[in-house]
Amino acid sequence: MNGGQVVPDVGGIVRAIVVVVVVLCFGWLLLAWAVFKRPILALPVAAFTGLVLLVGMHDAQALAIYLVVALLIWRRAHRASFDRLVGRRLRGAWRRWRVYECSWRTTMLHTGLAKRGRVRDAVPRIDRVISNRWCDRVRVRLVLGQCTEDYEKAAPGLAHAFGAEVCRVREDRPGRLWLQFRVADPLVAPLSALPIDETVDLEAVPIGVREDGEPWRLKLLGTHVLIVGATGAGKGSVLQSLIRALGPEVRDGRVQLRVADPKGGMELGPGRALYARFARPTLDEQPYAAIVELLEDAVDALRHRSDGLGDVGVRKHTPTVEQPLIVVVIDELADLTKYVKDRKTRERIERALGLLLTQGRAVGVCVVAALQNPRKEVLNDRDLFPTRVALRLDESSQVDMVLGEGARDRGALCDKIPESQPGVGYVHIDGVREPTRVRAAYPTNDDIAALVAVYTPPRPALDGEQLFQAAEHDVDGEVIELPTTRNEDQPEDDGKRAAS
């Protein structure tokens, strides 16, 4: 105090200002870091803080309540779009922090995926988390020197550590991979017939659901499909779901179904109105003659189309009404390749199948076949099917026969699928090294009848001779009456006189 005046403590004021500035800078840097590292969790806090500064606490609280109510209404009214745009991001951010990052370092050390160093440990880093109610997908940056096999060996321990039913490893790109943790199983309950989409992508035909809750889409254009499973494994569900999804294209004429049912039509017969050709064994001396003719006619169509496309320089067929995608469906292939007694008939079948499988893909002829026994002595051309679906199998050795060597070691436990889950199986998805677990939908008899009623293609009008030929090939048609011509010079009662 000097002359009754108080001398301000300049040093203390400066220190206080410095502390406030440092705290504010640190707070803003922390907020910026949080927004950058945890945008889904930090952005709402940052936005609310900004609202408080702009409009005050009371108005900011009111706006926040309105926003929460709007999100709840959106989720209630259209959950699919809410989950796609908001829900998955919120769930992924929450589970990344709450489930994985809290114990990530410890888990990596205990499972042997982290490498200890003198200064610090080298630990794989979490790059991204995508989550839905069925599974979490965690993208990981590998430590230098690691490979996919290291994580495949540690997958059971990772599943237990993070409370998941199963952990599967998916390759992403060099230095990155996905860990897929299944937290619930969408394939336990039977799946009803899927709704029919009027816009059909022949390279991604939806026929079921994958174990991550996403649609199972099967490529049909430019490939052949082999479905293998024991009795009651659900092969019919896959075939019927595929036919169901193709309904709009069949009706519009861009897909033509030619169906052979060696089992007599029990499985595929109810949908015969959708088929351009339908053949089954008969009770005469040559029971498989109609099926042989169906296959050989498909070979003739293949050759004609190949010549036409080659003349115009087209290397890949695009389905049109004039040149539709021909899908040859065979319900039980072993009946044709193994159990036909007549040697000449069996040789004709094998020759036609070989030509279709080796030359059909490029010209728009696809073979979809179901089979129980995948052994070479039953089907010698097994490797000519690029797309293969393995349902429940009787023996573990059959898994690698269908999906390729090492498929069972990578998680395709087809021999462990219970009989109570028909339609469940494993399939290779494009771009994914490991087999993916899937389940086909189950169309009921009522679903098939409704499909036939709506999507049966219009049949051409046939005269008597064409109708006779169509009956031989089991093709539906409409009878028309041809106009009769009469010679004007001939009296009307000539017929009566001749009769008399």
Helix or strand or coil: residue 346?
helix
**pLDDT for res 409:** 83
Exposed / middle / buried, residue 268 (Cβ in 10 Å: 0-12, 13-18, 19+)? buried
**pLDDT for res 355:** 92
| Longest Cα separation, the chain | 157
Phi, psi of 64 (to 5 degrees): -65, -40
Q: Are 472 and 484 in contact (CB under 8 A)?
A: no
**pLDDT for res 462:** 53
Amino acid at 380: N
| pTM for the structure as a whole | 0.76
**pLDDT for res 479:** 45
**pLDDT for res 218:** 92
Angle formed at CA 327 by CA 324 and CA 329, multiple of 5 degrees = 160
DSSP 392-459: S-S-THHHHHHH-TTTTTTT--GGG--TT-TTEEEEPPTT-SS-EEEEE-B--HHHHHHHHHHHPPPP
Q: Are 208 and 241 in contact (CB under 8 A)?
A: yes
Phi, psi of 367 (to 5 degrees): -105, 125
What is the block-wise mean pLDDT of the chain (500 residues), using blocks of 10 residues?
58 72 70 58 66 75 80 80 77 84 89 80 89 91 89 91 90 89 91 92 93 91 92 92 94 93 86 92 84 92 80 73 92 84 88 91 91 81 88 91 86 90 86 82 94 86 54 50 46 42
Q: Give the DSSP H or E segment for 350.
A: helix 343-359
State how beta strands 176-182 and 166-173 pair.
Answer: antiparallel
**pLDDT for res 60:** 76
- For 17, residues 6+ apart whose C-beta sits below 8 A from its C-beta are none
Q: Are 349 and 336 in contact (CB under 8 A)?
A: yes
**pLDDT for res 494:** 45
- For 82, residues 6+ apart whose C-beta sits below 8 A from its C-beta are 71, 74, 75
CA distance 169 to 434: 8
**pLDDT for res 491:** 47
